[in-house]
Every structure is written in C-alpha cells, then in structure tokens.
Amino acid sequence: MISTADFRNGAKIEIDGAPYIIVEFQHVKPGKGGAFVRTKLKNLKTNHMLDKTFRSGERFEEPDLSEMEMQFLYAQGDEYHFMNTETYDQLFVTEAQLGSSKDFLKENIVVKILFYEGNPLEISLPLFVELKVVETPPGVKGDTASGGTKLATLETGGSVKVPLYLEEGTVIKIDTRTGNYVERVK
C-alpha cells in the first residue's frame, strides 16, 4: 500500500482498477481544516491526464507492473514483434500501442516494455538512436550558414527535421524523448 506521504514524481498507484503515474504532487496544509495532496496523474493505459485531490493519509494499492528488456525483431503489417532477451519468448505489439515510438524502432534494438497484469502498456526506447537518412531534398549552396532545417525520411520510415547540409546516406543521432535531431554520427 502507498500512502499520500509516500507520493513522489514518477510513483505509480492504482485508482479504480487503473494504473496511474504521478506527474506532479503538492502537499497542502491550510490554516483551517485537514491537510490534503493535490496531484496531476497520468493514466498508463489511456495516457489521459487527471487532476485529483486526496485527503492526507489516504492509501492506494500498488499496480501489478513489471518491466522487461525486449529486442525488436521485425514488423509485419501493423504488428511489431519483440523477443524477451532472457527467456527468448516472443510477443507482438500493435502499431496503436507503440504510438510514435515506431518511428525510431530499428531491427535488433533493445527496448524496455512496461506490463500491467501481463499486458504491454508502454515501450521505452533508449534515450538516443542512430538511424540512416534515406531521403531528403538536396541542400542549396549558400543555405548552410542560415541555420535552417529540412525534412528527412529515416530508414525506419519516420521523419525528422535536420540541418540543410545533411545528405542522403548520413547516419544521425536522434533524441527519442523529443524526436529531434542531435548530431551527425561520424
């Protein structure tokens, strides 16, 4: 059981049979009345945000969450196949469950998958991935100093804005949290 005194950013609690993560919290002790905790919660199943206030001392169940390292094998239609790196068991995840993570999934990349009651909820990619640019318009001579950007298609099918001087075939590093170009890989 988790008490409101144990609330921390990133802590996970279960409310009405659904897992939530605490995004923000604030303990409030007014001059009159009892203390309470104002929170901003994110539903791990639906990704909806919820503002909720709890009385101080309330207790909550811990959700049945587990995290496993899995290797991305291949995509077939709208199913993405992963393999557990310890047991070699395979599992598939739908494109809808992956969300924007699919734009940075390269074969053999190791990711962490969060499970709730045995069902995959969330995929955590490494902070940075290195991907090859397969299509981008050529840079115009003289434009490289202006600091502009252009759209580049990656080997995974995703797209990202890159500096004008980058060409097709260049390997780049991308921050998976923001989806932004970081640097060219030498």
Q: Which domains does the chain have, with CATH numbers?
A: 2-60 (2.30.30.30), 65-124 (2.40.50.140), 128-184 (2.40.50.140)
> Is the pLDDT reported for residue 32 higher than 90?
no
pLDDT of 40 > 90? The answer is yes
Q: Are 60 and 14 in contact (CB under 8 A)?
A: yes
Q: Which residues pair with 61 in a beta bridge?
A: 14
The predicted model gives 94-99 an average pLDDT of: 80
Confidence of residue 119 (pLDDT cuts 50, 70, 90): confident
What type of residue sits at position 12? K
66: left (phi over 0), alpha (psi -120 to 50) or beta: beta
What does pLDDT average to over the chain? 86
Beta bridge partners, 52, equal 39
Helix (H, G, I), strand (E, B) or coil at 179: coil
Residue 15: partners with Cβ closer than 8 Å, 6 or more residues away: 41, 52, 60
* Mean pLDDT, residues 101-126: 86
Classify 106 as helix, strand or coil. Answer: coil
pLDDT score, position 57: 86
Tens digit of each residue's pLDDT (9 = 90 or more) over 17-30: 889 988 999 988 88
Q: Which residues contact 81 (CB under 8 A, 6 or more apart)?
A: 72, 73, 74, 75, 90, 91, 92
The per-residue pLDDT for range 135-186, each reduced to its tens digit, is 888 876 665 556 678 888 888 888 888 888 888 888 999 988 888 888 888 7
* CA dist., res. 162 & res. 31, Å (int): 54
pLDDT higher than 80, residue 64: yes
